Structure 1
Amino acid sequence: MLQLEDEVTLYSLVFVLVLLGTRSPLWSTALTASLYLFLAMFRFPQVATSRARQVLHPVAGKVSAVAHRGGGHDAPENTIAAIREASKNGATGVELDLEFSADGIPVLMHDDTVDRTTNGSGPLGKMSFSELRRLDAAAKHRLRSKFVGEKIPTLEEAVKECIRLQLTIYFDVKGHPDEAAAAFKHLYKRHPGLYNSSIVCSFQPKVIYRMRQSDPEVLTALTHRPWSLSTLGDGTPRFSSVWKHHWMTLMDILLDWAHHHLLWKLCGVSAFVIQKNFVSQSYIQYWAQRGVEVVAWTINTKLEKQYFEEVLHVNYITDSLVEDCDPHY
């Protein structure tokens, strides 16, 4: 019933906006009808609630603690060592970032360069897998002496380790929608258990839509941080130009509206991964009424974890399973 009310509101708003812009009832009706037909024809249904619950709550009735980038505070991020540490420290699952080498090998890496986390330098997309493999993925980590020589793993290696340790996987896809969809299609064919133990997430709706096109049985989530186009995570404006800042603020408003009223329905997502500062009981209820679960990021203190576990009862992503650490936006 609520989704029907959402749709009525959406189409009414579109009709009014077009009418104000064109002053033509005919054009307003035609464009609103076109939007309705587009959504009816091209949107994907949500995956069965029972399977979504199995992935998001592998331990029935309990909140899942998911290690961000494998738990980048406790071990070098996006490495096999991080996955093992996360499991040892009690994580329910791990969030892992997908990127591609110059020769098309899916690997774990958050940035599009190797500078921040390794002893190498340069764009990841211009380096072959053999070149990436020679780098030390622990070189810049605070515990590098403990993990010296840790390698950048392939997606396949990381998945096999997660399966062995019975960890749920949150795949975070930064871009490359076609390449990512193809890689996951082959991955899920080789490891069909992933349908019940993983979810594909992205800030880019195109990535999620392409994934559902490639394999509509894969569980998916949109990731979002309001005001991300105009400000950094700590609220600092991204642009010094006042006009550009205001323009991007307008784009933020439109993007936020689209995420909450259009894109989630078009992609048929089962979860919404949102920056922690925007999570509340009413916000969780908003999505629950639409059959979508909220997952919060990044929860890095004991008090925050208690609040999300005991009060809000939603899954959260954290940089550390063992101690408080700095905020992460």
Structure 2
Amino acid sequence: MRASLFFLGLFAFTLITMAQEKRVPIIVAHRGDSSNAPENTAASIRAAVAAGADLIEFDTRETKDGVLLLFHDADLKRYTGQKTPFEALGFQEARRLDVGSWFGETKAFASERPPTLEEAIRFCLEGGKTPLIERKTGSAAAHVKVIRDLKAEKKVIVQAFDWEFLREFRTLAPEIPIGALGDKEPDAARLAELEALKPDWIGWNQKYLTESGIARFHGIGAKVAVWTVNDLARLREFTAWGTDALITDRPGEARSGLSQ
């Protein structure tokens, strides 16, 4: 049963909605609504809630003193011009980073600082949305602790490209849904590894995801998401192929376009 009840509820709601309206898969806001606010910030999470996303995806990295914050890049170059690794920062230093000024021309988001994982989960749940946590760095134990402290085991999904991390995470917390990410051809070796891992969710690069690939992933027993799709024609194509979830930078546009 593990995490299956979580998905039964989420997808049952979606199927009812589909029966009432034109079929629209689960819409996942990539790094929040990153087309309307700087990614991985409180502002992008709020924007994703307002845009009607079902799930809100964000990235986690761990500071050198063990705090999980939202941050995508391996270094600070995009924000400070320096190639300092994010993991070289302590919490207080990382918390002072201006992660909003780069977005747009008006400096409207200059006050944005990296949220903690705890804050991000709370922001999502308070907005009635499911957090989709993409682990970049940080231990399985650190992620499990934050989620359990919030009693959010049945309210989140944790995904990663590092499948060894997912194996460890599942051992520590079999009740929390996990997602396996991939960005290569889903060859026989990868399919065998996925069969053994049995993730609840598989998120795959659109470049390598086909209709037959979706069917193979469904055969493993997982729900299938595709990333990162912003073109409406491609969104419609993946919808027709039976994709369960669409990860996009433009959640509001995706929902309105697919509903027409």
TM score, norm. by length of structure 1: 0.69
Shift of 1:75: 0.9
Please, which moves more after superposition, 102-111 or 263-272?
263-272
Q: Supply the distance in 1 between the matched residues of 2:166 and 2:52 (Cα, whole angstroms).
A: 29
CA pair 47-277 structure 1, distance change in 2 beyond 3 A: farther
Aligned to 1:197: 155
1:233-287 Cα distance to aligned partner (Å, 9 max, x none): xxxxxxxxxxxxxxxxxxxxxx8433211x2233221121111133333222222
Give the one of 247, 252, 259 matched to 1:317. 247
Say whether residues 1:222 and 2:180 are aligned partners: yes
User: In the alignment, which residue of structure 2 is the partner of 1:212?
Assistant: 170
Give the equivalent residue in structure 1 for 2:4: 49
Query: Are the equivalent residues in 2 in contact too, given 1:225–1:274 (CA < 8 A)?
Result: yes
Count of residue correspondences: 246
Shift of 1:50: 3.5
Gaps of 5+ in 2: 19-24, 255-260
Matched, 1:146 2:105: no
- Where does 1:98-117 land on structure 2 (aligned, <5 Å)? 98-116=60-78
1:89 maps to 2:89: no
Return the letter of the residue paired with 1:93.
L
Shift >4 Å, 4+ stretches: 55-58
CA distance in 1, matches of 2:205, 2:63: 29
Q: Tell whether 2:38 aligns with 1:72.
A: no
Letter in 2 for 1:105: V
Report how far residue 73 of structure 1 moved: 2.1
Question: For the residues of structure 2 that align with 1:129 and 1:120, how far apart are their CA atoms?
Answer: 20
Q: Is the 8 A contact 2:214 2:241 kept in 1?
A: no
Structure 1, unpaired ranges of 5+: 1-45, 228-254, 325-329
Say yes or no: does 1:306 pair with 2:236: yes
Instruction: Give yes or no for contact 2:95–2:113 (8 Å, CA) kept in 1.
Output: yes
Question: Following the alignment from structure 2 to structure 1, what is the Cα–Cα distance between the partners of residues 11 and 165?
Answer: 20
Counterpart residue identity of residue 200, structure 1: V
Bigger Cα displacement from structure 2, 54-63 vs 136-145: 54-63
Across the aligned residues of Structure 1 and Structure 2, the Cα RMSD in angstroms comes to: 2.2
- Check conservation: 1:220, 1:270, Cα contact below 8 A: yes
Distance 1:269 1:313 in 2: 16
Using the TM superposition, give the Cα deviation of residue 296 of structure 1 relative to its aligned residue in structure 2, in angstroms: 0.4
- Which has a greater percent of helix? 1
Deviations 1:297-324 (A, max 9, x none): 0111222223333553420100122458
Query: In 1, are the aligned partners of 2:62 and 2:137 still within 8 Å (CA)?
Result: no
Q: Shift in Å at residue 213 of structure 1?
A: 1.3
Whole-angstrom CA distance in 1 between matches of 2:174 and 2:49: 29
Matches of 2:217 and 2:169, distance apart in 1: 22
Query: For residues 260 and 311 of structure 1, what CA distance do their matches in structure 2 show?
Result: 19
Structure having the higher Rg: 1
- TM-score after normalising by structure 2: 0.85
